[in-house]
Amino acid sequence: MSEESIDYLFHPKSIAVAGVSGGSDRWNPGRLLMKSLMDFGFKGEIYAVNPSGGEIDGSQIYKSLADIPGSVDYVISAIPASYTPQLVKECGEKGVNAVQFFTSGFGEIEADEGKRLESEILRIARASGVRILGPNCMGLYCPQTGLTFALDFPDHGGGFPSQAGSLGFVSQSGGNTMYCIREGASRGVYFSKAVSYGNGIDLAETDFLEYLADDPDTRVIALYTEGVRDGMRFMNALKRAANAKPVIVQKAGATDGGIRAAASHTGAIAGSSVIWSSLLKQFGAIQVFSIEEMIDMALLFLRDFLPAGRNVAIVGVGGGASVLAAEECACAGLSVPPLPIEVRQRLRSISAVDAGRFFVNPVDMTTLHFEKMVEAMKAIADFDQIDMLLFQMGFDAWALLDMKSVIEPYISSIIKLRSILDKPLAVVLHSQATYQAKQLYTKVSTSLHKANLPVYPSVSRAAVAINRLIGYHGWYQSHDKKNS
């Protein structure tokens, strides 16, 4: 493996897409991949290649890479697997830096032919200095330079956010990469780079882990892997990356079915889940078990949510909801300490109503008076044994309230709280059963994201992420020492 930086991968000046059909098939993958780059605003040259030649949207389709007049930095292959050795050969001759294979039908299929083809293209690439991404992968997403692979259904606006952020994501699975980007965007989490590397026969998780550890645009790294090839090199890269910035890892393939699927999916050899878990722990990486948990976790880092300990005050609407919120926090590993009598009396005087409220922590304010809610939150945050505040509201009922007169002022107050409180605040908008509630969630959470507040769809999702965050920082121990 080369020690040189692979930063050039994310800054190609020209891209050729091999396998673009000039025919009428609007589902032709080469065509979709090319169109998605153009739509996303890639600023360099984009060339279409197909041995049949022809035209696409008035532009020439070149019969080979050699026919392209200018230089080509990066090639995206959407051609059948059997033609790929020839393409890699042409890449070498053209001086291409790297070729990404959307093409599948390699090591992941049952027939031996797949593995043979992988060896062949790798041999040809190594001989000419061409790097390979994939095969059987979606490739690169980099909003800053206009790279994307959102080939799905461009006619319906299926692209990815063009907003750049600071989460770097490396994934063996293309589908999970697409979902992670969409899930991220829906939660206000944007990406510096995302890479789907598929079978990873040349460039793979370790290369990108090394790269992202040094990438100044990346504050947090997330990795979805089904298994690594060079365990020793991966461990070193993981150790170094986790020293540099938070690294969140989802390791799939811990069960028979998962291992079998991983082998079929990307040819990965999954490895023991116990070894993986202890390895991740040892190197200070954070293990998660779903893409949602990955975004839940990244959100805390990217919003600078830094509680001094694990004592949470839960404030919100609804008695039963408060009971369950307390349970979910405690089950996740957080502490829900009782509020002292002075704070409770203060809250009681703010509320002015006793019936149907309670102030023990959890605090059930059940009020539409946002000024009172702000005052109550301040009173709670002043209590020195509280490290963070969690505001919870069930959205099924909220969806029925008036947007202008009730919801918007309430949300504005919550946003104001972020600068008023000297302790971290997370917001949970749970109970989104109805369509109206889902619709309102989208609107309200977008406002809260813009105000830099972490928003969660359930208390348990928030609590699990916060607990992992505290474990990661070892704040719990130092806080305990401080208080003993």
- Determine if 188 is a binding residue for its own copies (CB under 8 A): no
- Determine if 344 is a binding residue for its own copies (CB under 8 A): yes
Which lies closer to its own copies via its Cβ, residue 262 or residue 448?
262
Which lies closer to its own copies via its Cβ, residue 187 or residue 303?
187
Could you tell me where the DSSP H helices lie in 421-474? 435-450, 459-473
Report the alpha-carbon distance of residue 133 to residue 131 in Å, rounded: 7
Phi, psi dihedrals of residue 132, rounded to the nearest 5°: -115, 135
- Determine if 434 is a binding residue for its own copies (CB under 8 A): yes
Which lies closer to its own copies via its Cβ, residue 255 or residue 478?
255
Among 191, 211, 358, 410, binds its own copies (CB under 8 A): 358
By CB under 8 A, what part of segment 259-288 binds its own copies?
260-266
Query: From the CB of 94, what's the least distance to its own copies, in Å?
Result: 25
Sequence-ordered strand ranges (E) for 365-450: 388-394, 425-430
Report the alpha-carbon distance of residue 304 to residue 286 in Å, rounded: 16
Query: From the CB of 308, what's the least distance to its own copies, in Å?
Result: 19
Token output for 414: 């919550």
Closest CA to 152 of 112, 102, 225: 102
Q: Buried b / exposed e across 361-374, counting CB within 10 Å, b at 16+?
A: bbbbbbbebbebbb
By CB under 8 A, what part of segment 449-468 binds its own copies?
460
| Distances, alpha carbon 392 to alpha carbons 275, 296, 451, in Å | 37, 16, 17
By CB under 8 A, what part of segment 136-165 binds its own copies?
136, 152-153, 156-158
- Determine if 362 is a binding residue for its own copies (CB under 8 A): yes
> If binding means CB under 8 A, how many residues of this protein chain bind its own copies?
86
Among 340, 397, 416, 483, binds its own copies (CB under 8 A): 397
Among 248, 300, 336, 455, binds its own copies (CB under 8 A): 336
By CB under 8 A, what part of segment 87-116 binds its own copies?
103-105, 108-111
Which lies closer to its own copies via its Cβ, residue 73 or residue 226?
226
Could you tell me where the DSSP H helices lie in 149-214? 174-186, 205-214
Which lies closer to its own copies via its Cβ, residue 166 or residue 322?
322
Task: Find all residues with CB under 8 Å of 316, minimum gap 6, and list them.
Answer: 322, 325, 362, 363, 364, 365, 390, 391, 392, 393, 428
Which lies closer to its own copies via its Cβ, residue 152 or residue 304?
152
- Determine if 254 is a binding residue for its own copies (CB under 8 A): yes
Which lies closer to its own copies via its Cβ, residue 244 or residue 360?
360
Q: Specify whether the CB–CB gap between 226 and 265 falls below 8 A.
A: yes
Closest CA to 69 of 60, 77, 78: 60
Which lies closer to its own copies via its Cβ, residue 153 or residue 269?
153
The maximal CA–CA distance of the chain, rounded, in angstroms, is: 81
Dihedral sign for Cα 310, 165, 18, 87, please: negative
- Determine if 240 is a binding residue for its own copies (CB under 8 A): no
Q: Specify whether the CB–CB gap between 437 and 399 falls below 8 A.
A: yes
- Determine if 200 is a binding residue for its own copies (CB under 8 A): no
Which lies closer to its own copies via its Cβ, residue 42 or residue 102?
102
Query: From the CB of 214, what's the least distance to its own copies, in Å?
Result: 27
**Residue 215, Cβ neighbours under 10 Å: how many?**
20
Among 42, 74, 224, 410, binds its own copies (CB under 8 A): 224
In this structure, the strands spanning 55-56 and 59-62 are antiparallel
Could you tell me where the DSSP H helices lie in 192-272? 205-214, 231-244, 256-266
- Determine if 329 is a binding residue for its own copies (CB under 8 A): yes
Binding mask 34-63 for its own copies (x = CB under 8 A): ------------------------------
By CB under 8 A, what part of segment 299-318 binds its own copies?
314, 318
- Determine if 21 is a binding residue for its own copies (CB under 8 A): no
Among 77, 145, 172, 467, binds its own copies (CB under 8 A): 172
